[in-house]
Amino acid sequence: MVFASITFLYWFLPAVVVLYFLFPSKWRNGVLLAASLLFYGWGEPKTLPVLCISVLIGYAAGLGMEYVAKNQRHRKILLWVAVLTEISFLLVFKYTDFFLTNWNRLTGSQIVLRQIALPVGISFYTFQIISYLIDVYRRKEAPQRNLLRFAMYISLFTQLVAGPIVRYTEMAGQMEKRVIHFTDIQIGIRRLVVGLSKKVLLADLIGECCQAAEKATQPSVVLLWILAVGFTLQIYLDFSGYSDMAIGLGRIFGFRFPENFRYPYCADSITDFWRRWHISLGQWFRDYVYIPLGGNRCTTGKWLRNLLIVWFLTGFWHGAEWNFIIWGLYFALLLAAEKWMLRGSRGLSEGRRTQGKWLRHVCVIVLVVISFTIFRETDLHRLGTTLAGMFGCGRLPIVSRETIYILRNNFWLFLIAVMACTPLGTYVSERIRRGNRRKRIFGILEPFALLLLLLTATAYLVDGTYHPFLYFRF
């Protein structure tokens, strides 16, 4: 089951909301746990035991570190055993065929690939369990004694499948007690509908345009850039749309999840981009890998080592293909180069820095578009051909008739998508809300606008084909 489906929007979600508010507060966590297990097992019941076993291991290890381990050394041993066990599940289910394929290539063996079904969301809930265990070990939070409450935290359907990665320290108090006001429900519905619209009305349509560009019989340099820019827009609108829906759903049930995106395509540096893109993942690697390794408070050599390790793991976390590893290391090199360049610009005046802001922004966008071309192409030979073609090295014409046709038919779609990647909508709505009269008019018109978006998205869901969220495979 996915958020962007008729089954979820018109059957599952209304039923869960009704039951949730019918039951007294002390039973509501149980309602969410039952709904989450049903949601997760709806399409892939065979992988549900993996989630349950992971939850039990995390729960037992958390209690063991607090009440069984006799000293710090025993606590550390228990932490490592639990963390390595959780990671082993991720390695087996996600990376077995990757390791076997590369072993066959290196040795000439013919070991049959296992083709193990990947449990949906395993990368996300594994990281949530690991962060919980480390925080308990560091005594940032007491372990959760209630198994059902802990299971609800890990399996909560509102953000189980593709994040944001929510820390236990952010959820502990909210699981104990949460007060839901009508304003929370109103804000939650707004985020839900906006996220759904970004996914169905923009990301999916741009995805169809990208598919048409990939099948073009007259490729050109411009067409390759259209495909690259299109995927860059698609992956942001798809993933941020899911995050909007997850945050909105959480708000309806009384939870405040952290923001996962802050208009990353408005960044003027690669560092700034990663402060805005998939924020919960970046903070996870910073707090649980980068800083424990020493961060940047060490020698230059060790700092580069730390950077490469973190970005290798970031790329590998995204998928069991070499292009994801290359994608991660690509950003490691960009960040290292950027830091050295910034050292040389510290003596520049504020005026000169401001003048170069737009140039930096354009450079960042170009580098990010190239990065998502690497991210998209799992075939390394095709990746090399595509990158060469984008820069005029593939003996392709600059433009073709088919390119003009695709660009003309999708110009307005791309323009609206670009605007959706900026804070323009937020800025306009805030300006409208400033005046009392305009605020009242906006308050009347907003529900009708949201209803129109919902009905339009529903029409596309009914008539369209199945388009899962891109990050479901991670």
Sign of CA dihedral 417, 422, 423, 427: negative
Query: Is the peptide bond prior to 164 cis by the omega test (within 30 degrees of 0)?
Result: yes
Residues 153 and 144: beta-carbon distance below 8 Å: yes
Residues 218 and 401: beta-carbon distance below 8 Å: yes
> What amino acid is encoded at 416 in this protein?
I
Residues 73 and 137: beta-carbon distance below 8 Å: no
Residue of 181, 278, 318, 467 marked active site: 318
Q: How far is CA 286 from CA 210, 267, 295, 313, in A?
A: 34, 19, 8, 12
| DSSP codes, 338-377 | HHHHHHHTTTS-HHHHHHTHHHHHHHHHHHHHHHHHHHH-
Q: State the DSSP H helix or E strand holding residue 101, giving kind and residue range, or none if neither.
A: helix 72-107
181 flagged as catalytic: no
Q: State the DSSP H helix or E strand holding residue 151, giving kind and residue range, or none if neither.
A: helix 147-155
Distance CA 452, CA 446 (A): 10
Distance CA 145, CA 271 (A): 39
Q: Which residues contact 473 (CB under 8 A, 6 or more apart)?
A: 118, 319
Q: Largest Cα–Cα distance of the chain, in whole Å?
A: 74
- How many C-alpha atoms does 103 have within 13 Å on its Cβ side? 11
Residues 186 and 262: beta-carbon distance below 8 Å: no
Q: What is the DSSP letter of 143?
A: P
Q: How far is CA 391 from CA 220, 225, 394, 397, in A?
A: 11, 9, 8, 11
> What amino acid is encoded at 34 in this protein?
A
Residues labelled as active-site residues: 318
